[in-house]
Amino acid sequence: MATAANVYWDTYLKSKVSSKVRKSIRIDTLKKVLCLPVSHFDDHHSGELLTRMTNDNQAIGKACSDTMLSLIRNPILALSSFIYLLTINWKLAIICALVGPMTLLVGGGFGKVLRHNSQLLQHRVGGLTSVLQEILGSSQIFKPFGLEKKLLQTFTQNSDDVSKFEIRGGKIQASLSAAANAVGLLSFIVTFIVGAYFTASGSMTVGGLIAFIQLMNHLTWPFTGLASSWGELQQALGAADRIFKTMDERTEFTDIPTHKVNHEFTNMKVDGLSFGYTSSRSILNNVSFHVEAGQKIALVGPSGGGKTTIFKILLGLYEPSGGDIQINENNIRDMKLQELRGYFSFVPQENVMYSGTIRENIACGRLDASEEEIVAAAGDANALGFILELPEGFDTHMGEGGIRLSGGQKQRISIARALLRNAPVLLLDEATAALDNESERLVQKALERLMAGRTTIIIAHKLSTVQQADQIIVIQNGRVAEKGRHDELLQSEGLYHTLYKGIYSESHLKKGKPLYETFPL
């Protein structure tokens, strides 16, 4: 019974320690990841971060239970055995003790190789996870295009790469174990030969030699086991290196802050704004404009001109390389990020929906919102009708990325989220792009309610939707090509005139009327 109880508590306590270590590392890692700037996610695929929080985390947890206990228990067992063997024959005991340094040398040599291989393996696993994420999230593309075979080939190639490093790691681990056992066997043979000599010369009895040989296993076995545990520790350290690399990254915040909406807004001045994602590639060059409270400002121009980049800088996702932005006469460089972001509500072109209910996704706009405020926001966003038609209403689970909803429905959920946030400045990035006419009409009405009484900056390719804007700023190749009201820009016959006439003549005729007369801003 005592043995059974010992096995139970040994297994349970090791499992508990490992679990708590993994949980702590997972939470600390995610906390760090949530504080990383957007630029970090530009350079690192989410699959890589996912691997660090799963596979690497698992390896560290295992090392903190079984491996660490072995590294503590085995030396103690070996030392105790050595002391006991000294009482039988100190000369043979010293010969046996030589197995320790030899085993540690073997473990140290193979350990470095194992650690390096572990890092390379986990990097490949991260790539494999990234490919798998992309495949699983693109069923609506790979099925219509018949990409199953191509994606399988890509996944197989990455899987083969992972398998190669797994097999290599197995070879290294096997070589380490074999070398450690060879050292132990060599020690046994040498001890037996020397012991036989002592017995033949009469300095040691046959019974003493037999007792010594039986007991020396308690000295050699812990050292050979120590080599294997050392190899496992090196693999765990390789995983820890990857996690620590993430933990050492520069962050936006030292700790996750509490965000609050700033309701006071009088004006914003963008002066000489410049930015480049790399030092060799400039996206914005000397962009300047002024926004007064209550105005509707439109950013238009050819794709790739830098319009969305302006939004990213306003939201504090990137730091400008030149120029200044002032809100209420305060430079944003002097603001904390949560203060800066508290001025804005944002409706992106491609909406992000979280796995969970419709209620939870709308409440992302303000986490302390009441049920009445959530329902009101859904109503103002023209989303209440379709939500109530769903079997579970606001408790309907949206699926991964909101896959159970249409594009127009997701867009209206996003607008409801922005309404609930109730920030003074609204940023709209092509909020009606890629929608059918009926969805666009519903979304446009929701946007009208959202823009009412708010300062609004709109990115638009449908120029007919921004004709009533207080100021239209035309961005071309990262520069302000021209700015003014719709009529002024048409009269100047510049780039805006060219864009408007070209788009209008091609696609914006509807029964002899421009689209804005049918769906006014």
Catalytic residues: 430
The two structure tokens encoding residue 495: 């780039």
Q: Running DSSP on this structure, what letter comes out for residue 357?
A: B
Cα atoms found within 13 Å of the Cα of residue 171, Cβ hemisphere only:
8
What number of other Cβ atoms are within 10 A of residue 193's Cβ? Answer: 11
> How far is CA 12 from its chain centroid?
32
Tell me the C-alpha distance between 110 and 176, whole Å: 6
Q: How, if at all, do strands 284-292 and 267-275 pair?
A: antiparallel
**How many Å is the Cα radius of gyration of the chain?**
34
Tell me the C-alpha distance between 89 and 34, whole Å: 62
Closest-CA residue to 194 (of 220, 167, 176, 212): 212
The two structure tokens encoding residue 321: 């390389």
Contacts of residue 349, defined as CB under 8 A and 6 or more positions apart, other chains included, come to: 429, 430, 431, 433, 434
Cβ burial 135-147 (10 Å sphere, 16+ → b, else e)? beeeeeeeeeeee
Tell me the C-alpha distance between 166 and 118, whole Å: 9
Q: How, if at all, do strands 513-514 and 455-459 pair?
A: unpaired
The two structure tokens encoding residue 72: 């503590």
Q: Which residues pair with 382 in a beta bridge?
A: none
Tell me the C-alpha distance between 418 and 261, whole Å: 12
